[in-house]
A and B are shown apart, each in its own frame.
Chain A
């Protein structure tokens, strides 16, 4: 069985751009929530002096992640900030001193078993850097190690424009190896599969060399069709298993970890420097010189674009991530987050969505859905407010990859309707449960 997908323009303009470190901005804005789960609790106050790598927000609750300062300087204030999902979160604003003095507490962690590895990963502030931002230590807290067969390393990088994972593979393979070795030792996994999309020959070559020298590591070249990096698609195309609906990769004996996250863990184990900076691909039609940069977390997108060489057109839309699943930011004052792997800045022409026209029933949406859903029927069921139909159409399986919306020649807002339909189904299920009780 072959999963469907779509051919999107790759636009990997920056694959050969070695990341350049940007200068420290005057001010950084570090939100206490850059992960899925409960926001961190700020542990600094106005006027405090902070240094690079110092804890400024501690994890609150099980699914949460700590936050560290990416700069040295003084806390200017703590303010509420609207983030791109519309939520208000607390944000630590730091005026930098330009010294980038490293916090004295930064030292390599001691890891000698799974528990201490999980603790170290937690303290590193690591979250899924591929985009979702799920706290990594939670993923590694496997209760029953015998269930685990393989670790799938997500290096598909199927979004257009983005090349930061490619750069990780080319520039940081020693840390990827270190990460693999740590997991191999403490998670007792024997099989590691690195999934890379075909359009990255250099990265594939580099990882193949790594795999040749390391036991249990294999490279799986994935077809050049979006969304190879979607968890369900990736797991199927690497280990031929389908993650059950509502389940986790672990249900099929797999942990999926993004290659940059893994390299970060490897690096953290060696240096002890928490997650405070990111390699970010800066590209898009409004960007003058597309390139990869290393930016401190909390740097505003405006500063980032400026530092990366400026814009050649007015920015009409800016995204965290790439054009397929990227999140449009409310303003250029939005900061670089832990899971920001790219910033796509679009000019008016690229940013303006095409006008929807009536559905011509061509069937492109349902013939390209990787999970074989029927977006056309889902739209109909949503419009007629029929949650029972949505249930049987399995809309809650939708991973919101956007293939249907991309491929639709009538430019119908299909994945957008799927999202609304999912919410409708959730409400329906919740009320059904209530009535059942």
Chain B
């Protein structure tokens, strides 16, 4: 008689895997990737490629070196690479993109234990570190393809702070303005967001709370609401970064608090801070608060008033 497999129930499992979830995120990022190439030219593809490759390689080598089980196949490093690239100006020197990617994967993710263990979003933290380390290149914005260099290449948020001519809402929506290569095209990011919602990879709570807070606060402060929503890293931040599993709360109310917090900090930095943009910082600060939010919003088990 053959030996039977003995295992504890359940004996059925969801066909979903971590890899498939990451693949969905990559698919959702594709419209923005295509848009970045159309808007900023082929160099966008180079930056994305360099970041993805470096992230995957760093993860592979680090795990090899530490004799840890290899997790490259879960594709999370690809997602980090894409997101980091999307947060860089298209003119970023390749070696700086490489350093940023290494920092994202090794310092922010792997040193804290790898996938699911890091408390801060790798792409955002790496971007902030790069902003400090390479302040010049990181804020050297180029105009979209077809707009001559003679035209000022300040980001819309900088224009709003310092004055000047703002691109039309249509151009803002389509992403035809200077900015990080993957953050400008709201249309593409929204398409990706809808895909993630349909695939149930993310829930609506964080993005709606985040974007809603920014909209309401802009209205209250008498700012250009649509301009605030369509420019800067708000869309990519709210849809793709503030919904990262590892670094944000898992409960419904936790997500809402996280989103509102991000929105408030973004507004604070945008309207009263020294930087024109605050999305990255807001998400990083809320990442740090996540364990507390999680504890605060933990669902109450249905004990029906039973004994301890």
Contacts and interface: CB of A to CB of B under 8 A. Distances in A.
Contacts of B13: 353-354, 405-406, 408, 411
Contacts of A391: 308
Contact of A408 (B14, B71, B300): B14
Contact of B245 (A243, A361, A393): A361
Nearest to B244: A361
Interface string B97-135: 000000000000000001111000000000000000000
Given A359-B116, A366-B251, A394-B301, A246 B9 contact: no
A246 B303 CA distance: 9
A242 B300 CA distance: 13
Contact of A244 (B6, B17, B303): B303
B16 A409 contact: yes
Nearest to A6: B14
Contacts of B18: 357-358, 360, 409-410
A330 B250 contact: no
Interface string A308-345: 00000011111100011111111111000000000010
Contacts of B16: 407, 409
A371 B14 contact: no
Nearest to B74: A357
A369 B308 CA distance: 19
A252 B304 CA distance: 10
B305 A244 contact: yes
B132 to A, nearest CB: 28
A64 B205 CA distance: 51
A143 interface: no
Interface in B204-257: 245-246, 249-252
A146 interface: no
Contacts of B74: 357
Contacts of B308: 391
A299 to B, nearest CB: 17
A419 B8 contact: yes
Nearest to A4: B299
A316 B10 contact: no
Interface in A276-335: 314-319, 323-333
B64 interface: no
A100 B230 CA distance: 81
B245 A362 contact: yes
Q: Chain B: interface secondary structure?
A: loop
Contacts of B1: 331-333
Contact of A351 (B5, B10, B306): B5
A351 B2 CA distance: 14
A366 B299 contact: yes
A194 interface: no
Contacts of B71: 357-358
Nearest to A407: B14
What range describes how many residues of B lie at the interface?
35 or more
B12 interface: yes
Contacts of A315: 2, 4
B301 A357 contact: no
B7 A328 contact: yes
Contact of B4 (A247, A328, A366, A370): A328
A406 B12 contact: yes
Contact of B10 (A243, A324, A370, A410): A324
Nearest to B254: A363
A185 interface: no
A243 B17 CA distance: 34
Nearest to A346: B11
A226 to B, nearest CB: 9
Contacts of B302: 3, 232, 242, 370-372, 397
A147 to B, nearest CB: 16
B301 A409 contact: no
B11 A416 contact: no
A9 interface: yes
A362 B250 contact: yes
B4 A324 contact: no
Contacts of A354: 13, 17
A388 to B, nearest CB: 11
Q: In this complex, which of A245, A326, A360, A373 has the most chain B Cβ atoms within 10 angstroms of its Cβ?
A: A360
Q: In this complex, which of B10, B18, B117 has the most chain A Cβ atoms within 10 angstroms of its Cβ?
A: B10
B20 interface: yes
B21 interface: yes
B306 A411 contact: no
13 contacts: A241-B304, A247-B306, A315-B2, A318-B4, A328-B4, A329-B4, A330-B6, A360-B18, A362-B21, A366-B250, A374-B299, A397-B302, A410-B18
Given A244-B303, A372-B301, 20 more contacts: A3-B302, A242-B305, A244-B304, A244-B305, A330-B6, A358-B18, A360-B246, A362-B245, A363-B249, A372-B300, A374-B299, A393-B301, A394-B303, A397-B301, A397-B302, A400-B9, A405-B10, A407-B16, A409-B16, A415-B9
Give 5 closest A-B pairs by Cβ, nearest first.
A363-B250, A245-B306, A244-B306, A242-B304, A402-B10
